[in-house]
Amino acid sequence: MLKQKTKTKFFRFLSLFWCGSMINSLIVLVGGAAVGRYGSHIKPSCLLNVPYMMFPLIFLLRQFRARATFIQQQIKGNRKPLRQKSFISHLLDIGFIVYMLFALIFAIFRILHVLKTPMMKNSFYYEYEPYILNESGFPLVQILIYAFYFIPYYYSAINVLIFNDQESTKFEWFPDWTMVHAGAAAQAQFSYLFSSLYNPPLVSDSTWSAIPSDNWLITVGLNSLLAIVPQFFAFRVCGGHRERDFY
């Protein structure tokens, strides 16, 4: 039954969204626990998280392998000729390109801070996002995920938005990865933002503090942007019949 459901567009994209969310959360959970200040307290029971990480990964790979069959079904079901993009669609694409550039630069900016590079030693941004200094390992791993996975996606998305009209069949993979990214971004920013709002009283940590009230609006706004815009972009790419632009 599950296999039949994932052959439909809605459930396929929903499952990819779920995979992105689960994989991101478990990488941060296991990786952060291993490299953080409490890594020496890890017990063998931590390995129980491995199956929860492997199942979404295996399911994701199976969905990617079934992409060709899914595309053929979509082509058969959508025989109407494609329309030229409207002026508003082009404006939206330009807006998303600007966002991707911003997200890419902002991710690099935060990577330099979380790695505590000498050039950022006296940076003002630590006052806006002190959670970066948390030694639990979770913010470090999350921002490194941005470095190794999100930044390549931003770069790829910019290329797709610019060159898709010229060679659309070259980007058949893009709707799938867009949904994976949307799920990962939603989960990442939800856990990252809410973790940075409060310093848990049960686990005292003098290395950081919650977001100051004076900087709350800017910090929450930036992190919310990184969570919300990928959802709109996923709808822009995969909603309705827009995915036909890539098949």
Instruction: Quick: pLDDT tens for 144-171.
Output: 999 999 999 999 999 998 887 776 667 8
Instruction: Quick: pLDDT tens for 165-207.
Output: 776 667 888 888 999 999 999 999 998 988 888 766 555 666 6
139, 131 contact by CB (below 8 A): yes
Res. 246 pLDDT band, cuts 50 70 90:
low
- Residues 154 and 164: their CA atoms lie apart, in Å, by 15
Question: Per-residue pLDDT for 24 more than 60?
Answer: yes
Predicted TM-score (pTM) of this structure: 0.85
Scored b (16 or more CB within 10 A) or e, 64-73 reads eeeeeebbee
Q: Which residue, chain included where needed, has tokens 């060709």?
A: 68
Res. 68 pLDDT band, cuts 50 70 90:
confident
Count of Cβ atoms closer than 10 Å to residue 111 Cβ: 19
Q: Which of 35-49, 73-87, 94-108 has the highest mean pLDDT?
A: 94-108
